[in-house]
Amino acid sequence: MRISELSRRSGVSIPTIKYYLRDGLLPPGRATAANQADYDDSHLRRLRLIRSLIGVRGLSVSATRDVLAAVDKQRENVHLLLGLVLGILPADRGGEPEGSTQADDTSAPAGADADADVSGLSEVAALTAEMGWKTSPHTPAAQVVAETLETLRALGVDYDWRSLLPYAELADRTAALDLDQLADASDPLQQAERAVLLTVLLEPALLALRRLAQEHHSAQRYGGG
Amino acid sequence: MRISELSRRSGVSIPTIKYYLRDGLLPPGRATAANQADYDDSHLRRLRLIRSLIGVRGLSVSATRDVLAAVDKQRENVHLLLGLVLGILPADRGGEPEGSTQADDTSAPAGADADADVSGLSEVAALTAEMGWKTSPHTPAAQVVAETLETLRALGVDYDWRSLLPYAELADRTAALDLDQLADASDPLQQAERAVLLTVLLEPALLALRRLAQEHHSAQRYGGG
């Protein structure tokens, strides 16, 4: 297809596509004339993934380049691919040679202030062990859970990892739904794009559904007037 | 108790307490001497609620004053109280005389650009009807769900309210857990404070639990290496 069709089908403007081509985010098309090139579905899928990383996940062009470079090395490993595009695996590790890119190996970021969160992170480890989840111990998500527990306690709420267990059960079922929705994608890059869209864009909607359900349950328990 | 103990037990500094007193957010204590006053548990509970509205929900002092004024009129109605502190009910409606403060009455905000979201909002109405939820039709939460559906479709993902139904089932169970955790609060203001803390502070943690569970499920389905 010509660049105009690539633009129409991807929703990315021609000047932006040209910028990605110059910048190396998108590989060149097959030259058909002096100033013309032909693009195929692989360009379209890659462009859609770029759009989801920049426009939805909010990555910079430079961070997107790192993620794509890592993605190119892990094209056959869907688990690592999803970890890369969702930011569970850091791109600078995911891009390393085979053997050092195991999920369990993405441990503490260099220079992390480990002491500050030891108690919270060990609680997250207890929670994930209880759930039977095999997860990397120092991901941003683990940090967020640890910090939440510490913040609630600092504000005087009696809360520990066991309080989160019923929420973790529901999160487990939510994630199973998420993965179901990726199963029908035909190509790893398309799957990666859907993972970014459905994970990131559904976040505010999931919280909003909780608010709607809270309103309903509150009316049921306390009378809606 | 003296102001120093009030400060210690609430975690709010003495100068900030004095500011809230001058500003009318906190009612004066009982004067015991020329420059001294005695505060009781009602001051402590109110101060904790103020802290959660400003420090956790991120409201301005002026918006907090509106919410507290509405809360004072709705002290007996826990459902409206929770709606007010969580922002489901706008404070300027919640503060109106009895009879016009029904949850179902907080309809479209004045001047809302109704046309833009008609399709999305009617889908939210279909979703809440299917769930048996009685919710106000134009809350911020309903808008967020409507916008998410529209954004996903604009990005080429085939998605409608039925796709969200299984997520809504899980949100329903999440909200039931949330309400369970308020049940043991002894006082409506304490309940309101816990509602703000547990609803708002758990938001990032719930999304993080989803990410952790996604990592686990992805490893299970695609092999974690």
- Interface residue B126 vs chain A (CB under 8 A): no
Token code pair at residue B217 = 């499920």
Domain ranges of chain B: 40-103+127-222
Tell if the CB–CB gap between A164 and B209 is shorter than 8 Å.
yes
In terms of CA atoms, which chain B residue is nearest residue A154?
B11
Min Cα–Cα distance to chain A from B34, Å = 33
- Strand bridging mode A36-38 / B30-33: unpaired
Q: Where are the beta strands (DSSP E) in chain A?
A: 30-33, 36-38
Range A1-97+182-225: architecture per CATH: Orthogonal Bundle (1.10)
Tell if the CB–CB gap between A215 and B102 is shorter than 8 Å.
no
- Interface residue B171 vs chain A (CB under 8 A): yes
Tell if the CB–CB gap between A212 and B135 is shorter than 8 Å.
yes
- Interface residue A194 vs chain B (CB under 8 A): yes
- Interface residue B212 vs chain A (CB under 8 A): yes
CA dihedral over B23, B182, A162, A88, signed as positive or negative? negative
In the three-class reduction of DSSP (H, G, I as helix; E, B as strand; rest coil), residue B36 is classed as strand
Tell if the CB–CB gap between B86 and A211 is shorter than 8 Å.
yes
Of A80, A214, A225, the CB nearest to B199: A214
Per-residue pLDDT of chain A (225 residues; tens, 9 = 90+): 999 999 999 989 999 999 999 998 999 999 998 888 999 999 999 999 999 999 888 889 988 998 888 888 877 788 888 888 888 777 765 444 333 334 443 444 444 444 445 688 999 999 999 999 988 888 889 999 999 999 888 888 889 999 999 999 999 999 999 999 888 777 888 888 888 998 999 999 999 999 999 999 998 988 765
B167-to-A43, A182, A207 alpha-carbon distances in Å: 33, 15, 10
What is the complex's ipTM, to 2 decimals? Answer: 0.82
